[in-house]
Amino acid sequence: MPLTRWLAEYAWLPDRAEPTRDVLIEATDGRLTAVTPLTVDGPPTAGVEVLGDAVRLPGLTVPGLANAHSHAFHRALRGRTHDGRGDFWSWRSLMYAIATRLDPDTYLALARAVYAEMALAGITCVGEFHYLHHGPGGTPYDDPNAMSAALVEAAAHAGVRLTLLDTAYLTGGVDGAPLTGPQRRFGDGDALRWAARVDAFRPADEHVRLGAAIHSVRAVPAEQLATVAGWADRNGLPLHVHLSEQPAENDACRAVHGCTPTRLLADHGVLGPHTTAVHATHPTAADVALLGDSRTRVCVCPTTERDLADGVGPVRRMADAGSPLSLGSDSHAVVDLFEEARALEMDERLRTRRRGHFTPVELLTAATVGGHAALGWGDAGRLAVGQRADLVTVRLDSARTAGVPPVGAFFAATAADVTSVVVDGRPVVDGGRHLTVDVPTELRDSIAAVTAKEDS
């Protein structure tokens, strides 16, 4: 790949409290080779005017955003579940109804559109928490990893990187109840058979990496937690787990095991720097200390957590205790990492009735470096030499951002303000349009294919 150069009107460079004006960014073979500010304490230098071969990036350019927690098929629920009463558990039955209708072909079409929607929002890497493994009734496809392969292909078409977090989902409750109904599609029988299936899937594509996930303490028996965690550790892969998303999960774990889910995970060797706890909405003070002391990462999904009435977790306390933060769009009620980022601050204000908990740099870090690290891409998330050439440019002249200083973009911009996205040096979005996918049309058609019977 030849040398490519971009001239960013503003770029948010590492270790800077606010964006820098007039930055020349150069890349070869998908890696940043030079990041050079051209303005120092004054107007642009004359050099800015003669960079005729550089692609202009008007607005604010930030590193690629990382969506650390996705369930792609949940996107089909948007607009179909928001007007009813109930809670997480009643919503879950609607989610299962979508899961029953998917096969490798329809999932490929849906995920391709969803990942392309993410690209339009500035997301260059996604972590897919993938547990929809088998056919109806739990019968494996001829290729037991056909659904995984569909997700890998979908990400390639959309132009984003993927960490496929293959998820162990073995039981229907903390008490070990068997999987029933649509849940049977998720299960492999036990952790050893889960590991054997995942071992057989080794995609060679450069845009994908594997990871592992424990769905929750509800879905993996205590005596099998170490098997999943050990598989991830031996392979040097990230491990994710839904944790304390609901008070009912905590109560059930205490009733069966006499401890919180966090304590159970700690006792079975699950916590650590390569593990990401997703949600962590209802931890105790002791849980916060366990997560922080072990440097376990925490992925927060604010738009989903409020959509499902989950609650607001003690995110600032978890960060202060030592847990690096990342962000996810989870059920995709909203696909907007700017919204997820500022919700860290806004939700903390609601919880504490005080302002000023997270700096703009901390929000940027959670949306970029934090997410990439949680997904096993330690070479992405910063505009620095040697990093992957992922560039996301946000316009500063929209109705939302006009008059806003660049440092305030995370409190003003939305996904609709993204104009340009480059992934590994390759343009994916230009002028606010995806270069290869007609996103609205493909979303409409792929969702119709799995909801037509329901809506008729």
Which of 235, 236, 290 lies closest to 268, judged by CA?
A: 290
Reduced to 3 states (helix: H, G, I; strand: E, B; else coil), residue 337 is helix
Active site annotation includes 279: yes
How far apart are alpha carbons 377 and 379 in whole angstroms? 5
- Burial readout 61-80 (b: 16 or more C-beta within 10 A, e: otherwise): bbbbbbbbbbbbbbbbbbee
Which tokens in the block code for residue 54?
């550089």
HSE of 379, CA atoms in CB hemisphere, 13 A: 11
Catalytic residue of the set 188, 330, 336, 390: 330
HSE of 44, CA atoms in CB hemisphere, 13 A: 16
How far apart are alpha carbons 386 and 407 in whole angstroms? 25
Hey, which residues does 23 pair with through a beta bridge? Answer: 8, 37
Catalytic residue of the set 69, 274, 279, 282: 279
Pairing verdict, β 55-63 and 4-11: parallel
Q: What CA dihedral angle connects 210, 213, 215 and 219, to 10 degrees?
A: 110
Residue type, 22: D
How far apart are alpha carbons 374 and 325 in whole angstroms? 9
Residues annotated as part of the active site: 279, 330
